[in-house]
């Protein structure tokens, strides 16, 4: 699967760990930065990744900042993005099954690399349930 990644400085280390692991699993990974722990502004990177997914250049996107909050808000400003901040296994499952999330946001200062990779596996491996959730996802996409 083609997956785009982006982070600010607070999410940089976690992005790097996830990038390596996803590539090892055979995913096509696109890294839009940042490329160091030097301070940058998370809205810039959230928008970059959001635009990438919304335009269809990647099937999924994962964004990282210190908490996962700011960069997820930024990604969700892009029309067509449904970005879920994920902090646990059940969140990862429901993000896909109920919210049809095409992106997730993770907090580099709160989520370990091991937990992040498990959340990503669950999110990627959980099918969209559709059904009663269809109309709600459509309503999100109309905003």
Residues marked as catalytic: 65, 98
63-122 residues near ligand RB5, rule: CB under 6 A:
65-67, 69-70
Among 3, 4, 6, 10, binds ligand RB5 (CB under 6 A): 10
- Closest contact distance (angstroms) between CB of 25 and ligand RB5 is 26
Among 12, 42, 52, 123, binds ligand RB5 (CB under 6 A): 42
Among 8, 50, 95, 100, binds ligand RB5 (CB under 6 A): 8
Q: Per CB under 6 A, does 50 bind ligand RB5?
A: no
Burial 59-96 (b: 16+ CB within 10 A, else e): ebbbbbbbbbebbbbbbbebeebbbbbbbeeebbbbbb
Q: CA torsion, points 18, 23, 29, 35, in degrees to nearest 10? A: 50
Tokens of 30: 């696109």
């Amino acid at each position: 699967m083609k997956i785009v990644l982006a982070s600010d400085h607070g999410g940089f280390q976690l992005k790097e760990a996830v990038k390596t692991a996803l590539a090892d699993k055979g995913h096509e990974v696109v890294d839009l930065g940042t490329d160091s722990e030097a301070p940058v502004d998370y809205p810039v990177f959230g928008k970059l990744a959001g635009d990438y997914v919304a335009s269809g250049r990647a099937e999924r996107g994962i964004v990282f900042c210190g908490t996962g909050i700011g960069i997820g808000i930024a990604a969700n400003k892009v029309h067509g993005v449904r970005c879920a901040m994920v902090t646990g296994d059940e969140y990862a499952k429901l993000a896909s099954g109920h919210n049809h999330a095409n992106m997730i946001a993770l907090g580099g200062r709160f989520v370990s690399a091991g937990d992040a990779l498990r959340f990503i596996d669950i999110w990627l491996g959980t099918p969209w349930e559709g059904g009663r959730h269809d109309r709600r996802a459509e309503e999100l996409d109309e905003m």
